[in-house]
Every structure is written in structure tokens, then in C-alpha cells.
A and B are shown apart, each in its own frame.
Chain A
């Protein structure tokens, strides 16, 4: 479909998913153009995975309109799935097969000839740096390796669209960085990435654009930079007081910065000038155990939008 090259890869209009009385996704509108890296960000239970499952054509749409590659999942699910790769939240690798056989079998599910599956498996294992594990069973692999096998496997059909549900949850920092690097390369090759995460750094690293979801609704949309600029002042001052005294100390700080948030372990003060805010804290005679000024991040946006113990 050459005329479609500019049409959005995914269009969701007023998408709703209900399980009985429970509303998992509550009328969201999303559009993902080809080549973009798009993120769904939100706390657990925000409706990210339900949305991903609908896009992955493994969960019927309750209401609204969903098109992927311009096709309707209700009638063309098989065709859509054949052009898509899926990295589920939990690795679903076949424990009874070797790494290489996992890849080959998966290719066979897409009706790819066996010889071609072998060729691609070799290439993809190289891509995720697991060539030396090709003949290994799944069980002895580390979490990070399993994740990489899952990603390699999801690429066996050379998908135009790759869905990643919490791709790096539970991995150590090194493994995460290896994965990010690989995903970034895929993006450079023109693969459209759609991912969910609750890691802010991941969203900042990988997403061109993202939506923040909460309770089934989209509460913000934009690039990571835009969201930070719009929803959070430029800097954040983090203060630590002796355990259990945060609430009490925080009241000394009325009027410092633009906004204040008291977390169990620290007090966050959002301000355009963090150093000035810190000077004001000291001037008032408040003596935190430690103080840190940093740039505001997506995490701050996230906390603000999904509302965790906000004190405005």
C-alpha cells in the first residue's frame, strides 16, 4: 500500500475496553505515525497493557474505533498480527526449546520458510549479542538475556511495528542500557516502536512522544521535553529530613518555590531556580540532612499528573 506511507500506523478514536463493570480503558484517542517511537506511561492499572493488547489484536475492542495499518482488528487481526512484533510483559519463551529453535519456530508461525527462519535467527541473535547462546536452553539464561531473546524473536517477521509492554521491568541497569541501545537502533532502521513503561528515564530515552495514562484516561500528551516544560518547573530541590519528620518540617517551607510535594522519604520543591530556593530554605533556618538540586524530569510530571500525595 504505497499511498499509505504517510497515513498513521495506529489510529485510536474513543477507544474503550471494559471487563464486565470494570473500565480498563476509558475512551482514549491516540495517533501514531510511521517511524515514531511512542510511549504509554502510567502507574500500574492505568490501562496501558489493555490498550497494548487491543493494538496487538489479542483483545477485542469494546467501543470506539481502532485501526492499525489502516486495518480493523475485528476483521483483519490475522493480517495485522503478521506485520507486527510483540514483546509481552512476561517473556513467553518456549522452555522446551533452545534459543535458536524458539526463533525458528516463531518464524514458522508466520509461514516463513525454515531456511529463511534460520538465516534471520542467526542475524537477530547477532543483533542482540547472543550468538554464543544460540544452542542454549532458555532456563539457564539471565533475565536480561531472556528479554533480548524475546525481542529478537519478535523481530523474526521483520515487523513494521513493534509493541513492547514494559520492556525493561525487572532488569539490572546494564541490561536496560543494552536493551535501550538495541531499541534505538531499531528505531533508526525505521521500525515504529510503541511501548509502555513506568520508568521515566526509559520514556525520556526512547520516546519521541508519549501519553500519560491514569485510570484508563489520557491525562497528558506530548514529547518528554514538552511535558516537562508544561507540567513542571525547570528545577527540583530535593530535601531529606530525619525519618518521619518530613510533614512537620515541610510546613516551615510555605511559599518556597512554585509547588511542594512531600514524599515519605523526601520533600520535593519545584522551582524555576533551585539554588535560590535552597538559599531560602537555609535562610529560614531549616537544616535538611541533605539537599540536591536537579533538573526536573518526566518523573515529576508523572507524579504531578497521576497525583501522589500532592500539596499545592
Chain B
């Protein structure tokens, strides 16, 4: 049984502290996928392959090396960890926005679950957990592809996986919390308009230094903190900043889970 009751975290609300059955929501997903939903996940494995191939074959040769933190690295190795972070974000957000919205408003999956001993915290943690798993699967595929194409720079690269899981969890939590505010499908038009700039301008394709005076804008992007972590792990280079990035993502995850549980209570248990 998964329980958070033992954690000495006063900031986590009672809904989440009392969650004792979030794994039931995962079980539901497992049953749904068993009935033929695995194809959705499979599509996520091809994406990284195409991305990485295009960079290795095309951009890499054109751009040459990039200077980041006073060190020259081949462009492919510079970009790949950032794309891995982005894939964790994408997988998480696909699941925690549209799919969650469908289950929330149309399939009434959560209404049905809340009539049983399950609580709003169980639903929030379980659903965020599943979106995290989806993001984590995408990034695992990414990591394997990177390694197979020789784009990992150090043995520390394996550490990118837990970081990708954290990125995925943070974005799942925020994504699901945001979804509880969506009124109709039309509201989802905003999702790409936030995701795309975040994808492009999180120091994904060029180093933070190239933004000059506008670096602070990039640092607002949560994805930037994920990218910074995966990149430093890929190179096996450490700095105190790593801890800072970690704190940002953990805070985001906690905030998202808390808000989601509260919103579910407000929407479905009035």
C-alpha cells in the first residue's frame, strides 16, 4: 500500500496525506491498456528516434560544436538531453490534459471512483502517477535511442532517467491541475500556445548565454530547469545550480498535486 501519511510534510494537504489507494487508478489504466490502449504509448517511441536521427544526420553536421559553460560539446550531445527533458514533459502533458479532461467530464471515471472508498487524493495522485509513467516511458525510449546512436557523453547519463521522471511528475501535476479549470475542449487551444514556446525557449536548442539580458525569461520556464539537469547529467558535470533546479521542480510537483486534489474535491464533491 502506498501511503504518504508518514511524510513529515506539513505543506501537503490532508487530501493527499490520506490517500491510501492511488494505485487503484493505475490499475484502472492497466486494465484499459490491456484492452487495447498500448498503441498510444507505442507512438511515443518513434518520436525520439526521428528527432534524434534528424539532429545527428542534419543539424549536427551543420552546426558543429557549441560552447556551454566554457566547454565545447558536439551539437547533438548538447541538444539530445534537452529533447529528452522535453519528451518527458510532452508525454506527461498529453496524458494529464486531454485524457484527464475526458475522464473528468465525459466518462465520469472520477465520480464513479469517489463513490467508493477512494478519495480525491487517491484520484489526484493516481492519475498524476499514470501521466508520470507515460512521460517516463517516452523518456526511457529516448535515453535508449540516444545511447544507441552514441549521443550520451558520460556514464552519468543514466541519471537523466530519474530526472526525467521528476520532470514528468511535475508537469503531470501542473497539467492535471490546469485541466480542472478547463471548461470545454476549446480551452485546450491554450495548451500548445504554452507548450511550444516552452519547448523552443528553454535553452533547448541553444545555450542560456545566447539569450543575453533575457536569460531571466528562460529561467521562468519550468522546462529550463529540467533541461539544465539532464544536460549536466549527460556531461557528468556538477554544480550547486543542480540543487536549485531540483527544488524548482519538486515545488512545482507538490503545488500541482495539492491543487489537483483540492480542485477535484471542489468540482466533484460539492
Q: Which residues of A contact B (CB under 8 A)?
A: 19, 56, 58-60, 78-79, 81-82, 86, 88, 90, 92-98, 101, 104-106, 108-111, 157
Contacts and interface: CB of A to CB of B under 8 A. Distances in A.
Given A92-B112, A93-B112, 5 more contacts: A82-B116, A90-B108, A105-B27, A108-B24, A109-B116
B246 to A, nearest CB: 34
B72 interface: no
Interface string B76-108: 000000000000000000000000000000011
Contacts of A96: 32, 35, 37, 107
A15 to B, nearest CB: 16
A120 to B, nearest CB: 14
A94 B112 CA distance: 9
Interface in B1-37: 21, 24, 27-28, 31-32, 35, 37
B32 A78 contact: no
Contacts of B115: 56, 58, 81, 86, 88
Nearest to A87: B115
A119 to B, nearest CB: 17
A93 B119 CA distance: 18
A106 B107 contact: no
Contacts of B41: none
Contacts of A78: 117, 119
B53 interface: no
Given A19-B270, A59-B270, A109 B35 contact: no
27 contacts: A56-B115, A58-B268, A58-B269, A59-B269, A59-B270, A60-B269, A78-B117, A78-B119, A81-B115, A81-B117, A82-B116, A82-B117, A92-B107, A92-B109, A94-B28, A94-B109, A95-B107, A96-B107, A97-B35, A101-B35, A105-B27, A105-B28, A105-B31, A108-B24, A108-B27, A109-B21, A109-B116
A139 to B, nearest CB: 11
Interface residues of B, number: 23
A88 B111 contact: yes
Nearest to B269: A58
Nearest to B108: A92
Contacts of B107: 92, 94-96
Contacts of A94: 28, 32, 107, 109, 112
B269 A110 contact: no
Contacts of B24: 108-109
Contacts of A98: 35
B118 to A, nearest CB: 5
Interface in B111-130: 111-119
B38 to A, nearest CB: 13
A157 B115 CA distance: 12
Contacts of B118: 109
A62 to B, nearest CB: 11
B164 to A, nearest CB: 27
B21 A111 contact: yes
Contacts of A108: 24, 27
A81 B116 contact: yes
Please name the 7 residue pairs, one residue from A and one from B, whose CB atoms are nearest each other, closest first: A92-B108, A109-B116, A92-B112, A86-B115, A82-B117, A96-B32, A78-B117
B35 A106 contact: no
B207 to A, nearest CB: 44
Nearest to A137: B35
A58 B28 contact: no
A97 B36 CA distance: 10
Contacts of A90: 108
B112 A111 contact: no
Contacts of B268: 58
A153 to B, nearest CB: 8
Nearest to A84: B115
A92 B110 CA distance: 9
Given A59-B269, A94-B107, A96-B107, A106 B32 contact: no
A19 B115 CA distance: 20
Given A88-B111, A94-B109, A96-B107, A109 B269 contact: no
Nearest to B265: A60
Nearest to A95: B107
Nearest to B268: A58
Nearest to A93: B112
Contacts of A88: 111-112, 115
Nearest to A104: B31
Given A88-B111, A105-B27, A105-B28, A110 B116 contact: yes
Contacts of B108: 90, 92
Contact of B31 (A79, A101, A110, A157): A101
